[in-house]
Structure 1
Amino acid sequence: MKIEPFEIAVSDDAIDDLQWRLRHTRWASFTPHEPWRQGMDETWLRACVSDWADRFDWRAAQRALNRLPQFVAEANGQRVHFVYRRGVGPRPYPLVITHGWPGSFLEFRALAERLADPASFGGDPNDAFDVVIPSLPGFAFSPAPAAPGVSAWQVADLWAALMRGLGYERFGAQGGDLGAAVSVALAARHAKHVDGIHLNFLPSSYEPAVGPNDAPINAEEQAFLHAKAEWAALEGAYAHMHTTKPQTLAAALNDSPAGLAAWIAEKFRAWSDCGGDLERRFTKDELLTNLSLYWFTQCIGTSVQMYWENRLQPLRFGVGERVAPPVGFAHFPREISHPPRSWIERVFTVEQWTDMPRGGHFAALEEPALLAADIQRFFRRWR
């Protein structure tokens, strides 16, 4: 597999165009209402747009991103962008980490450093990983698939080919959000190459069949399914749009950076352990760098389209179907769903379960030290 170094290079014209659009935002009118009750808060958004236009330094952010070891390669005919941080230790273990939406490879900068070079953080160099962080097809610098049909299952095939192309016959996988779906698909479809998977989220499309010889759904599982349905009804409008009409949405968000900021930043507030204060968990530059990656690569349409594909190819498992590689699960208290261990164990063997003291959906950004320690502990058995 041919691997080429990659460097981000956004043109001055693209930066000027973004700043012009931000400064000429046509603001919507609303009947007065409680802040954040109906979604994005206009006061916060106006300040964000002003900051993005007049203070944020994309060139500085780009230089920081380009300090990450980035590459592109072709796997199964698909060009893939990825960060590849080699481990500092006697025998680094290979690990592929997959991001989700509305995230990007940016989420894992701090986590990757802790995993690749634990000694620099007071840890054991024997816990070092070779960390591979690909951008999902249609996200950031990985181009969209040339044909429809690329769900988490097909991305898992791409990642298996990428890891083998990098020289790893066996490896581990980690992910949250869409990345959790890819990790589950890797374990299910590529068990001969995947030792185990570590998750900090259970994909919403995960569905185990309950046969006549299986234990009936218990009270805890029933409560989880009820809470999941209730959350989807009250908070899941974004996902319903993504899974049914992604291109209608893309037409609006790809043309308006203020609209893009509203759609994405509201989720960082709602899904994180921030107590309603976004900047308690994320710096403004982290948020704006992530938004800029979506804007400059014009990937909002192709990124949300993966929800469409996952709806058509969900993570359904038949009666009696089991997946061989074991699972480690990190349960963060402010995650958007809270599956009971028994629900996951209907298909997987859960060998490690950790109830975290704090953190939410964006665990790698919110609590990189906690997440890194849990990943290290889970994968020690294969060293």
Structure 2
Amino acid sequence: MFSVSIIFLTILIPSIQSSKPTLKLTFTPDEKYYTEGHVVEVLCELLNPNDHTESPQLWHIDIKSGKRTPISRTLLNTPPDDSLDIFKQNKNKRLEYVKKNHLRIRQILFEDTSRYECTCPDCEEQLEKKTKDLTVMKLVDPKWHIDPGWPIQENAKTTLKCTADDFYPYVSHQILRNHHKIEGDGKAVIPNSNTIPQKFSWEATVTPTHEWHNTTLKCTIIQGNHEKHAIKILEVIFTPRFIKCDEKQHVNSTKDKAIIECSYAGNPQPKLLWLRQTDEKPVTSDAGVSIEVKDEHHGKYKSIVTFDRDKLLTIPLTTTTKAPNAPADTTPATKILGDNYYQILLNGGFIARLTNNNNEVKESRKISIVSDANQARTNPLDGSSRATIQKFSTSIILFSFLIILYMVQRH
């Protein structure tokens, strides 16, 4: 018997609750965000009315001012002078009064963005009001602004700014550099939710290095259910420099082909000249030698010199000499040194000379060719590393001297 009572109450209580008068506010179609041009119907209903309930009322609420306007036939047909512009400009019947508390909006516009409310002000029993926002999107592409100028300079303070004006509604944003989030490095001005349309800005002051060259900035603003993007590929001007150019490079002279190489960077693209150490004459792409420059992006390049052993061994190395005690006008004799030009070329070593577009020498590196790969692995430090160690050593010496001086003065 107790179980039957429980089952009866379980069925009865929801029935009693569902029979209570309630308000219902619906949009058809029901979407969180609307695009312009759709037809939308707004309906305010009273469910389960009884003898003590009255007719409900549909209200329009202006988001900017908060003004509440009851929807009526008179409002849409002959709006009073103090009505909102959206009602006074309804000559083409875009806003249609279907029946009491039933509004049809034909071809909705951004200006239709508003809040609707369903109430029953004359009901004896106070009913919970229902509220829904009708949000019509206005989409705008964001823009990047780079100050003080373009292209940007290495190690110079630069302001990065992304803005979007007159859009609606703001949901969120994201700032990326090469797929890494950087929005936390700057300050965003996020629009107020009661502002229509809205403005957004994000700004950061950075000091770009050469590593920023050819990297991609991406500003994404989610407006309603759409993502709008602004993409900017950075161009950074920076001076030429070696990345990797070993001063000892291994070449197996018995192989058919051998290479030496140097990696470098700079923007605008610098030039790397290969010279023979013996006479500082240029090494050029010629019979038996080819030089290839690879663009490795982000302002980085690699110059590869390839030696063709078979071709170089066939080039005779000659020199001109005079016979001992020969008269001054005697024609010099030509002496064939043999078919070892390839080995002599390698033994003489090379110079890698890095210049900018004005042919100013920025860095040079003397390269010795070694036959033992282990020798190439024990390369001397490059210029920047030597300078760093030298500064560090000087600092230690100076610090030690000051300690000694302090100890002497105390005694």
- Regarding TM over 0.5, the answer is no
> Where is the helix percentage greater, Structure 1 or Structure 2?
1
**Interval containing the TM-score (normalised by the shorter chain):** under 0.3
- Which structure has the bigger radius of gyration? 2
TM-score normalised to structure 2 length: 0.16
Q: Which has the higher contact order (CA 8 A, sep 6+)?
A: 1
